[in-house]
Structure 1
């Protein structure tokens, strides 16, 4: 099982974002040296009063520090973008990172983003499906033409082309079952969200595989799961250093409406302990080994995407957690 580091790039109002970028550079170097297989970045817009560093330029900066790690989006909110622009921007990023891009895309869920980008949220599913087909076409062929309800272009070729042939992998983030079905039918892999409980994911995996089987598609061994994780020498220390920051992140998530369409409990009224149960991994190296192995052995997870830094968390705690995970946990997962 590959394990990638999911960088939390959301910062409190008033935080020095130049310093935050320096911190993310240091986190990337620490993950590279600790043996992580990939680096992942998310995307949101209009998160006032919080500050959310934008994915595409930050990926370009961090690619210089990533070494042999893959670099992926988790996720890019594809319906907010022009697919031709995405094709060229991320072809360039694939060149920058030496052909190690993983293109993670999804629908997003926040009304404020759709309203202010002028995109009708009610049509996002159909728009997204056309964009996926168009993105594959643009990356794989020259003189591409596409005629859809939402996406249209005629006889165009992008340059540069991605280094990967025929194209970078496209992984689809999904929480609600309709989105999971799209991931099954259109994506090279499904990225399961961290807010969905472990037990709900087990049920959704069965649904995912049935969707592929009914469509005549082969069983897909590529499955990624996001996990909020903090490791320390003791459980008490892990909860003290990481728990409060994770809880703050999820207060923001649920205020944005993230849990509204997720199977299982919404999480809006849960305590940290209740929220963490069956979702997060907060504990000792042995606790983390056990939980990560369960994702690998019980869920068939091929890629674990762990987030270990959260809004307001001191950089010293972040680096210490990355290094401890690399030293005491990673060797037991490969």
Structure 2
């Protein structure tokens, strides 16, 4: 099993040079701990937290990569970019990384980002599908003609092609049947989001497999995003996770509760996270991952090593422990293949 990290945001109160230093420390610590995928997402005009823009940041981090490590966007808000510009920037990034780029792309979920770019939020899925189609042509053809609903290119030459052929892998996230089918049609894999339970994913994998087979497309293991906290006991892992993550969970739920001040609150938090967060001792978390790998065709497993407010030493310590207790012991773990999800013959 391969593992990766999601590099995220920092409070805007943190000096930008300190933010960059933190990113460099993450890359160093993650590689030392055995992680093989380093990824970051994207937001614009974000409230209270700073998201460094992924393409220039990843170009800088590429200088720090070990030979076996890949780097990627998870995810770019695709429809906010013109596909010609984005295709050329990503092809350049693939060259800069010497063919180690993974392109995670999606629609995002914040309407205000579309408003400021004067893009129609209600048409975001159509924009994304057309964008991927045009970028693929720009990456694989010497001259491009494209007549779409949103973008037009008339017999123009292309001058930047990625190292990877025919193009860098495209990862598409989805949570519902329509999105999973879209990922099957337009991406190389469906990225499983961290909020989905294993039972929900099992149902959707069958839909994904059926759509890929209908189109005659190959099946590749599915990246799985999960939050993970390891400690000396389960209770300590829950406490540690709540201490760093509760702010985000509270904001997601638009609730003002203060976690872990009472048993009732602890139980509420545990009920909210227990189906999609890997918690416990090293052995407990390894068992949870083995159980998932026995039920789902997954890989890599992507985790978040840093929450806003954590410093570089805390993040490096987290990565060292997860590497020692989870990544290295599970290096030889193989998840199941897609056979059990194939449609039954009629």
Q: Does structure 2 conserve the Cα–Cα contact (< 8 Å) formed by 1:224 and 1:303?
A: yes
Give the secondary-structure state (helix, strand or coil) at the position aligned to 1:105: strand
Calculate the aligned-residue CA RMSD, in Å. Answer: 1.8
Question: Structure 2 CA distance, aligned partners of 1:312 and 1:48?
Answer: 15
Query: Which among 271, 280, 284 is matched to residue 283 of structure 1?
Result: 280
Task: Give the equivalent residue in structure 2 for 1:83.
Answer: 83
- Identify if the C-alpha distance between structure 1 residues 78 and 273 changes in structure 2 by more than 3 Å, giving closer, same or farther: same
Question: Structure 2 CA distance, aligned partners of 1:147 and 1:237?
Answer: 57
Give the secondary-structure state (helix, strand or coil) at the position aligned to 1:271: helix
Task: Give the equivalent residue in structure 2 for 1:234.
Answer: 233
Question: Structure 2 CA distance, aligned partners of 1:16 and 1:271?
Answer: 35
Question: Structure 1 CA distance, aligned partners of 2:136 and 2:56?
Answer: 22
Task: Give the equivalent residue in structure 1 for 2:309.
Answer: 312
Task: Give the equivalent residue in structure 2 for 1:293.
Answer: 290
Question: Structure 2 CA distance, aligned partners of 1:21 and 1:52?
Answer: 11
Aligned residues: 318
Q: Does structure 2 conserve the Cα–Cα contact (< 8 Å) formed by 1:87 and 1:158?
A: no
Question: Structure 1 CA distance, aligned partners of 2:248 and 2:217?
Answer: 37
Give the secondary-structure state (helix, strand or coil) at the position aligned to 2:226: strand
Given the two structures, how large is their TM-score scaled by the length of structure 1?
0.90
Are 1:176 and 2:176 matched, yes or no? yes
Give 1:218 deviation, angstroms: 4.3
Question: Structure 2 CA distance, aligned partners of 1:19 and 1:271?
Answer: 35
Give 1:124 deviation, angstroms: 1.2
Larger radius of gyration: 2
Question: Structure 2 CA distance, aligned partners of 1:219 and 1:294?
Answer: 25
Give the secondary-structure state (helix, strand or coil) at the position aligned to 2:296: coil
Question: Structure 2 CA distance, aligned partners of 1:283 and 1:102?
Answer: 31
Given the two structures, how large is their TM-score scaled by the length of structure 2?
0.87
Structure 1 residue runs without a partner (length 5+): 256-269
**Greater alpha carbon shift after TM alignment, 215-224 vs 274-283:** 215-224
Task: Give the equivalent residue in structure 1 for 2:342.
Answer: none
Give the secondary-structure state (helix, strand or coil) at the position aligned to 1:4: strand
Give the secondary-structure state (helix, strand or coil) at the position aligned to 2:20: helix
Question: Structure 1 CA distance, aligned partners of 2:229 and 2:18?
Answer: 22
Give 1:22 deviation, angstroms: 0.3
Q: Does structure 1 conserve the Cα–Cα contact (< 8 Å) formed by 2:174 and 2:192?
A: yes
- Identify if the C-alpha distance between structure 1 residues 254 and 72 changes in structure 2 by more than 3 Å, giving closer, same or farther: farther
Task: Give the equivalent residue in structure 2 for 1:262.
Answer: none
Task: Give the equivalent residue in structure 1 for 2:18.
Answer: 19
Q: Does structure 2 conserve the Cα–Cα contact (< 8 Å) formed by 1:102 and 1:171?
A: yes
Task: Give the equivalent residue in structure 2 for 1:326.
Answer: 323
1:36-65 CA deviation, whole Å, 9 max, x = no partner? 111011111122122222211111111111
